[in-house]
Amino acid sequence: MKIGITYDLRQDYLDLGYGEEETAEFDRPDTIDAVERALRALGHRTDRIGNVQALTRRLAAGDRWDLVFNIAEGLNGIGREAQVPALLDAWGIPYTFSDPLVLSLTLHKGMTKRVVRDLGIPTPDFAEVREIGDVEAVDLPYPLFAKPVAEGTGKGIDGASMIADPARLREVCARLLRDYRQPVLVETFLPGREFTVGIAGTGAKARAVGTIEVVLGENAERHAYSYENKERCEELVEYVLVDDDESHRAEATALRAWRGLGCRDAGRVDLRSDASGTPCFIEVNPLAGIHPEHSDLPIICAKRGIPYARLFEWIIESASERITSGGPPPETLTGRTGSGEDRDRS
């Protein structure tokens, strides 16, 4: 197949004046190199597209692909991760990983937890602070944990994220509201083990490929897999491959969430156990990092002895099942529905 690759390069945004933390979710050139090598090793032809603006230009110029390998995170708005998939959907071009609905939903941690809770999956009690006055209405037992509602890579999480009293809650929420310009998710703090479950596949075919426990080192920021701990993971964090009863319960919970939310192809689910040892859903990453050495999903695969290229084979196999033939391309349908006068009336 001819496979296009969509992505956001971190350096491109740094060159535009964005900061290190603002660009933390974007990719380095060696990630794109690794993706391209893996796809070519599977016998595919590759075409580097770039970000959503580059994709728009390429589509307007008439370029098309059999499949797009999409890891573009986007920059603006709650639907930033959904921008590339929505554009590809409009042109009838299949792509890897989740669709616009899933990517928009799961970026908003509060909305995701509402759906997960409705599915009967354990997740810590929570509240959303949209403005500083909302702090007074938070009625949860301390300690609490606060973070931006729609960020990844640990952005907005640090050693102060675990909160012991109302005064500290107000202080942390005020800072997060100011710095990230979005609501703050406040959750009951979970004191147990922290797991990341790697998942491959879609729907009933989805399976856990392995689970690591995130163990913070002596010099790491405490109580959280924070932005600083993730940025310096090689020296601050130990990833321990686990295979015990508690991790098996974490995998079962992760799969229920993955399937219930409609995630596709591959990704991660993060969980943390409560005081009784019950793994609880924290968040899902349906557009997980894919760097062969620094991203959690490939790390899990490596610890399980699963080659990097095999992970890509699973992703492409899963995405390929959605490719259907027949019917004209979307550009030939222009004018089919026309104006309101031309549409059928019921």
Domains of the chain, first to last: 2-95 (3.40.50), 125-188 (3.30.1490.20), 194-320 (3.30.470.20)
SS3 assignment for 45-56: EEEEEECHHHHH
Specify the higher pLDDT residue, 21 or 137: 137
Asked if the bond preceding 143 is cis, omega within 30° of 0, the reply is yes
**Beta strand 67-70 with 194-200: parallel, antiparallel or unpaired?**
unpaired
Q: What would the pLDDT profile of 168-224 be if each residue is shown by its tens digit? A: 999 999 999 999 999 999 999 999 999 999 999 999 999 999 999 998 887 877 777
**Which string of DSSP letters, residue by residue, matches 2-29?**
EEEEE--BHHHHHHTT--TTTTTTSBPH
For residue 109, pLDDT over 50 is answered with yes
Q: What would the pLDDT profile of 124-149 be if each residue is shown by its tens digit? A: 999 999 999 999 999 999 999 999 99
Ranges of H-type helices in the chain: 10-15, 29-41, 52-60, 83-90, 100-107, 109-118, 166-180, 227-231, 233-236, 245-261, 296-303, 308-320
What is residue 232's predicted lDDT score, i.e. its pLDDT? Answer: 78
Are 86 and 161 in contact, with CB atoms under 8 Å apart?
A: no
pLDDT above 90 covers a percentage of the chain that reads 79
Confidence of residue 336 (pLDDT cuts 50, 70, 90): very low
Tokens 């509060």 — which residue? 110
Q: What would the pLDDT profile of 296-318 be if each residue is shown by its tens digit? A: 999 999 999 999 999 999 999 99
Rounded CA separation 285/298 (Å) = 14
What is residue 226's predicted lDDT score, i.e. its pLDDT? Answer: 73
What is residue 335's predicted lDDT score, i.e. its pLDDT? Answer: 43
What is residue 67's predicted lDDT score, i.e. its pLDDT? Answer: 97
Tokens 């399937």 — which residue? 259
Average pLDDT, the chain: 91
